[in-house]
Amino acid sequence: MKTKIFSLLLTLFITINGFSQVNLNKYKYVIIPKKFDFLKEKDQYQLNSLTKFLFEKYGFEALMEGEKYPEDLIRNRCLGLKSDVNKDSGLFKTKLIIELKDCGDQVVMATSVGESREKEYARAYNEALRAAFSDIEALNYRYEPDSSITSLAASQSVEAKAEVNTEIEKLKQEIEALKQQKVVVAVAPVEAEVNDKVEPKVEEVEEVKSMAAEVKEVLATVLYAQEIAGGYQLVDSTPKVVYKVKKTGQTDVFFVEGENAIIYKKGDTWIYEYNTSEGLQQKELNIKF
């Protein structure tokens, strides 16, 4: 009997000690999915809304997946944790576990099992989820900025700006070279006539301007791929993260995080394919890896 009690106390001590090491204070946001895998519909039994509410109740800044994210989270996804709720098997009980992952898809915390003996689904899920949140409540969470995370965002921003500036400089050189070529073409036919005033033709100057405008327009649509854990983030010339994509088992095929969409390469073109109420839609993307 004493041995059993000692073993139980030792297990409890290890569990509590391990739990106390969890520090979520460096993460500013928690992102809630619109649908949990064990349910058939989005926000079924209002479980996703309840999850968001409970995270906010215990001090977190909770966001629903796909909604407009704050600027600092767009610049640095590592400020946020991705939450999920998993259902554990049980004959007479509903069992739920809350899981939190960082930007590298690594689990940073999994709560103990929240249980309910209620037979009606809505009440059972509600009760089990609240029970699982007791571990979250015990954290006494309060956001404390962490230099390792903020410095990561700064370095990513610097890299993106440097890449964009390099691209802009190349395009400027190309435009200047085109201008020089047009001037040479305009001057060549009348080189022998020294007394004549040589000017580029109006239509040729307009063509150069048009080409420059096209180059600028193309530059504005270019997305630059920056490698992150498990995939890439695609940033524009701002730089702003436009999409965050995950690798799949197939070459040049990516899942788009937070959206019902994929990005894949067709020939030399990148295609963004997504579902709408009107069916499957596509658009071309200009991505530089």
pLDDT value, residue 55: 96
The model's confidence at residue 98, banded by pLDDT at 50, 70 and 90, is very high
| Mean pLDDT calculated for residue range 201-221 | 61
Has residue 165 got a pLDDT over 50? yes
Higher pLDDT, 60 or 171: 60
Query: What backbone phi and psi angles, to 5 degrees, belong to 102?
Result: -90, -175
Has residue 246 got a pLDDT over 80? yes
The overall average pLDDT reported for the chain is: 79
Q: Which helix (H) or strand (E) holds 121?
A: helix 121-138
Distance CA 124, CA 132 (A): 12
Residue pair 125/94 in contact (Cβ under 8 Å)? The answer is: yes
Q: Which domains does the chain have, with CATH numbers?
A: 2-145 (3.40.50), 148-288 (no CATH)
Distance CA 176, CA 33 (A): 49
Distance CA 233, CA 286 (A): 14
Has residue 264 got a pLDDT over 60? yes
Higher pLDDT, 257 or 280: 257
pLDDT value, residue 90: 77
- Concatenated DSSP letters for 224-282? EEEEETTEEEEE-SS--EEEEEEE-SSTTEEEETTSSEEEEEETTEEEEEEEETTEEEE
pLDDT value, residue 203: 62
pLDDT value, residue 7: 45
pTM: predicted TM-score of the whole model, two decimal places: 0.51
Residue pair 62/55 in contact (Cβ under 8 Å)? The answer is: yes
Q: Locate 206 and state its tokens.
A: 């307009």
Q: Which of 32, 49, 47 is nearest to 96 (CA)?
A: 47
Residue pair 51/166 in contact (Cβ under 8 Å)? The answer is: no
Has residue 5 got a pLDDT over 70? no
**Cα atoms found within 13 Å of the Cα of residue 156, Cβ hemisphere only:** 27
Has residue 94 got a pLDDT over 80? yes
pLDDT value, residue 181: 67
Region of 59 (left: φ > 0; alpha: ψ -120 to 50; beta: rest) is left
Has residue 42 got a pLDDT over 50? yes
pLDDT value, residue 204: 59
Range in 88-102, 121-135, 157-171 with the lowest mean pLDDT: 157-171
